[in-house]
Amino acid sequence: MKIVILDDQTLNPGDNPWTGLDGPDELVIHPRTSREEILERASSAEILVTNKAVLDAEILAQLPRLKFIAVTATGYNVVDVNASRQRGIPVSNVPSYGTDTVAQYAMALILELCHHVGDHADSVAKGVWAASKDWTYWKCPQIELRGLTLGIVGFGRIGQRVGELGHAFGMRILYATEPPYYPVNYPASLVSIETLFSEADIVTLHCSLDKSNFEFINKALLQKMKPTAFLINAARGQLIKEQDLADALRDGVLAGAALDVLSSEPPSKDNPLLSAPHCTITPHMAWASLAARRRIVQTTVANIKAFLSGAPINVVNPPTP
């Protein structure tokens, strides 16, 4: 059985091999695949592994040999799961590889907005401290988290872990999410999204993206925030209407934002957030610790082996009853 990995570069830049897929199956690995290259590379594959290469209904209709799709991520919007289901093609994902690493990164973004450690270290390297008349200085207000309110949008595995970390810092935890709700061992209050945005000192996004919440963070919702509040996004860029956020930052509607995701990646040069004030942007790297990437490979290998054994696991498009 032929296995084709369409976009391996970001998952395995050389430190995370596909151990476990060695064997009689033919394995072909591509660092990255453009849409124009998908059909040529996938036409003879029975198993496709994808991260960002889009397998929509048009593409799937032209892959008659395809029997299984493994998505090397938790989100699976790159695959038309309904078209796959109609073809009897199971689609499996990696449901929980990034809980700890993404939660840790969200806290890093929060702490960066509170302290700007990198900026201060850079100023010391440039000689500012050596030239100072005082034994200390700071270039921006230093913010203590204890006693502040952390609002979490999306209270699944990652959101709950962020809440646990926030609670450890002494923060009050609010959350807004869709059912089901999961019990946690720290105080956390379910509130409406409007209440969360108006009461939180820091809002952090950990929800999945769907049609109901596309660009739901817009001018009206941002205007509910405190002028001292921060917005964190380590989920999906399309949750935010980017021009509205850029305008809000320029107008002082909120104090700052730290984003690991944007609506298109890599971003276009005219993305308004690239030039917005008080906006820290990192290149969608919250997921990318070696430990997390190893879990992705291990789980994807397990998904493929389970399919080959006749009992697929982590299937996101089970047959309709």
Q: What digits encode the pLDDT tens for the residues 120-137?
A: 999 999 999 999 999 999
Residue 136 domain flag = yes
- Report d(CA 25, CA 272) in Å as an integer: 47
Average pLDDT (194-201) is 98
Average pLDDT (22-38) is 90
Catalytic residue among 116, 157, 161, 236: 236
pLDDT tens-place string over residues 260-313: 999 999 999 999 999 999 999 999 999 999 999 999 999 999 999 999 999 999
Claim to verify: residue 116 and residue 193 sit in the same structural domain: yes
Q: Are the C-beta atoms of residues 187 and 200 closer than 8 Å to each other?
A: no
Residue 85, token pair as written in the block? 């289901």
CATH number of the domain encompassing residue 295: 3.40.50.720
Residue 265 falls in the annotated catalytic set: yes
Residue 221 domain flag = yes
Strand order in the sheet with 2-5: 26-29, 2-5, 47-50, 68-71, 91-92
pLDDT at 77: 87
Claim to verify: residue 129 and residue 221 sit in the same structural domain: yes
Angle at which helices 157-168 and 99-115 cross, to 10°? 40
Domains: count for the chain: 2
Residue 316 domain flag = no
Return the exposure string of 225-246: e unless at least 16 CB atoms fall within 10 Å of the residue's CB, then b.
bbeebbbbbbbbbbbbbbebbb
Catalytic residue among 26, 178, 194, 265: 265
Average pLDDT (81-106) is 96
Catalytic residue among 116, 157, 206, 284: 284
Claim to verify: residue 120 and residue 246 sit in the same structural domain: yes
Claim to verify: residue 266 and residue 229 sit in the same structural domain: yes
313 exposed, middle or buried (CB, 10 Å; 0-12, 13-18, 19+)?
Answer: middle
Claim to verify: residue 68 and residue 103 sit in the same structural domain: no
Residue 318 domain flag = no
Q: What is the pTM of this model?
A: 0.91
How many C-beta atoms surround the C-beta of residue 170 within 10 A?
Answer: 11
Claim to verify: residue 32 and residue 164 sit in the same structural domain: no
Claim to verify: residue 173 and residue 264 sit in the same structural domain: yes
Residue 40 falls in the annotated catalytic set: no
pLDDT of residue 22 exceeding 80, the answer is: no
Residue 314 domain flag = no
Claim to verify: residue 139 and residue 78 sit in the same structural domain: no
- Report d(CA 24, CA 177) in Å as an integer: 45
pLDDT at 24: 63
Claim to verify: residue 239 and residue 259 sit in the same structural domain: yes
- Report d(CA 181, CA 183) in Å as an integer: 7
pLDDT at 306: 97
Average pLDDT (147-160) is 96
Claim to verify: residue 179 and residue 218 sit in the same structural domain: yes
Residue 315 domain flag = no
Omega of the bond leading into 31 within 30 degrees of 0 (cis): no
Residue type present at position 233: N
Residue 148 domain flag = yes
- Report d(CA 256, CA 171) in Å as an integer: 19
Claim to verify: residue 40 and residue 120 sit in the same structural domain: no
Work out whether the CA dihedral 313, 156, 296, 61 comes out positive or negative. Answer: positive
Average pLDDT (68-93) is 95
* 3 state SS of 176: strand
Q: 276: closest CA among 319, 245, 321, 240?
A: 245
Host domain of residue 32: 2-97+290-308
Average pLDDT (254-259) is 98
Residue 284 falls in the annotated catalytic set: yes
pLDDT at 320: 82
Residue 166 domain flag = yes
**Residue appearing with tokens 């070696």:** 290
